[in-house]
Amino acid sequence: MSASTAVAALDRQQVLTTLGRHWNPTAALMLAATGRQLESHARGTEVFGEDGSRALDFAGSYGVFLVGHQNDAVRAAVLDALDTAPSLVPGTVHPATADLFGLLTEILPAGLDRFALGCSGAEISEIALRAAYLARPERRRIVIVEGGYHGKTLGALTVLGQREHRDDFAPADRDLVIVPPGDAGAVREAVAGRDVAAVFVEPVLGGAYLRVPPADFMPDVARACRQTGTLLVADEIQTGFGRTGRMFAIEHSGVVPDIMLLSKALTGGFVPVAVVAMSEEVLSDARRSPQWYPGVLDGTGGSALSVAAAAATIRVVRDQNLPERAETVGRALREGLHRAVREHPRHLVDAPGIGLMTGLRTRNPSVENLISMQMAARGIHLGHSLNEQMDQPVLRFYPPLTVSAAEIERVLVALDASLDWLDRRPAWLMRRITWLLRRQYRLPPTLVLKLMHSDLEVNW
């Protein structure tokens, strides 16, 4: 039985009950309330519902599915590794690992050719923290950007710029300096005392914010870091491998960081893996620390399966020139989104983005949710900000870089229709929906389902 028939054979109520009881009641409730189909399988830009329905995936798991779902070349590499890998023991150097490091050295800026492997973005954020503390042992302070995201494990939470997700878990902020996004002056001031080990920054701030910084931001930050011996850590977990129209987002500014974080799109969505790329200078500084020991920067990542998938994904990105495609095809999408903003100022603030890292900054959470639901009803999945407390959340459009011009056109036509539908809703209704959205997790689930006219039962 194929995976798709196995899912199709399950009763929807039963799946939601299992999800709600054993894992994620909020996700179960949202699936039940919105009537969104459970996905049975996916291919290219399309995901297929349990009932045979098809939808265009412009959410892409927030950037994971960069080369589309089930990319043939990556799939073949994974299957081959499954059959031929000599060992899955982490730390083993087999040909696929050497292949991956060779490819990374070719596409990364010169000098970033020392690597450490992990399984997730959060894990490599912690490896970068360890490297920074080792390389600058006399410094304890870290600079982060307000709203920045580097993962949710305890160490990664120390450098999380989203206070609401950090404060209950992370240690006190005494060694943390939080600067506003895009404010190089604040970074310069923060590192001036030469007591900061590292600045963590996303070259384009992702999350529910999606902010492209001013052109001089990264060069100014890099200069301030260089002048004060502070390490610059560029988190390219969401921006890397072409999403912004260049292989890496830092290429827009010509800046070369000391440490770079890579994950998400790296294996085409098949196997989780994450890579820290560092300069030899960082490593040789770190080795001089009394805290250094071999393996201090290692994690469990780097199975044969994951490195083979990563190498194959990089080849697809490079050989199909996907960064350039993100730039050209992305222009059409961004123009369409800008047109929507001009035509619907009552609902939309702007259309931030670069390449195919795009979105709509909405006037309030009800606009974001209603567009998202209207688009879903028209067979388009978008990337919800997952943040109803924000005043102007950004609804994200992150299609695979293999997306066709026709698929983009289809999305823009659906967006027009969704916004026309929204235009016919009165302002009081929008305010009421925002009020409800902000309290939805505290409302009785049965009431939420009733309000959404769902006939499913909450029995978890």
Ligand X SMILES: Cc1ncc(COP(=O)(O)O)c(C=O)c1O
Where do contacts with ligand X occur on this chain (CB under 6 A)? 62, 120-122, 149-151, 202, 206, 235, 237-238, 263
> In the complex, what is the shortest distance from the CB of residue 149 to ligand X, in angstroms, rounded to a whole number?
5
Task: Count Cα neighbours of 338 within 13 Å in the Cβ-side half-sphere.
Answer: 9
Is the sign of the CA dihedral 120, 123, 125, 127 positive or negative?
A: negative
> In the complex, what is the shortest distance from the CB of residue 169 to ligand X, in angstroms, rounded to a whole number?
14
Closer by beta carbon to ligand X, 234 or else 371? 234
Q: What CA dihedral angle connects 172, 174, 175 and 181, to 10 degrees?
A: 90
The sheet carrying 380-382 orders its strands as 39-43, 46-49, 54-58, 380-382
How many angstroms separate the CA atoms of 47 and 295, rounded?
A: 41
SS3 152: coil
SS3 408: helix
Closer by beta carbon to ligand X, 260 or else 419? 260
Exposed, middle or buried, 215 (CB in 10 Å: 0-12/13-18/19+)?
exposed
What distance lies between CA 23 and its chain's CA centroid?
22
> In the complex, what is the shortest distance from the CB of residue 236 to ligand X, in angstroms, rounded to a whole number?
8
Closer by beta carbon to ligand X, 271 or else 430? 271
Report the Cα–Cα distance between both ends of the chain, in Å, rounded. 29
- Which residues in 256-319 belong to E strands, given as ranges? 259-262, 274-279
Instruction: List the structure tokens of 334.
Output: 């961004």
> In the complex, what is the shortest distance from the CB of residue 187 to ligand X, in angstroms, rounded to a whole number?
18
> In the complex, what is the shortest distance from the CB of residue 278 to ligand X, in angstroms, rounded to a whole number?
17
Closer by beta carbon to ligand X, 336 or else 355? 355
What contacts 446, CB < 8 A, 6 or more positions away?
A: 458
Q: Are 331 and 358 in contact (CB under 8 A)?
A: no
Closer by beta carbon to ligand X, 122 or else 422? 122
> In the complex, what is the shortest distance from the CB of residue 100 to ligand X, in angstroms, rounded to a whole number?
18
Cα–Cα distance list, 123 to 12, 274, 278 (Å): 35, 8, 15
Closer by beta carbon to ligand X, 149 or else 209? 149
Bridge partners of residue 39, in order along the sequence: 49
When CB distances to ligand X are compared, the closest residue is 121
> In the complex, what is the shortest distance from the CB of residue 402 to ligand X, in angstroms, rounded to a whole number?
21
> In the complex, what is the shortest distance from the CB of residue 204 to ligand X, in angstroms, rounded to a whole number?
9
Number of Cβ atoms within 10 Å of the Cβ of 178 = 18
Closer by beta carbon to ligand X, 208 or else 286? 208
Closer by beta carbon to ligand X, 62 or else 460? 62
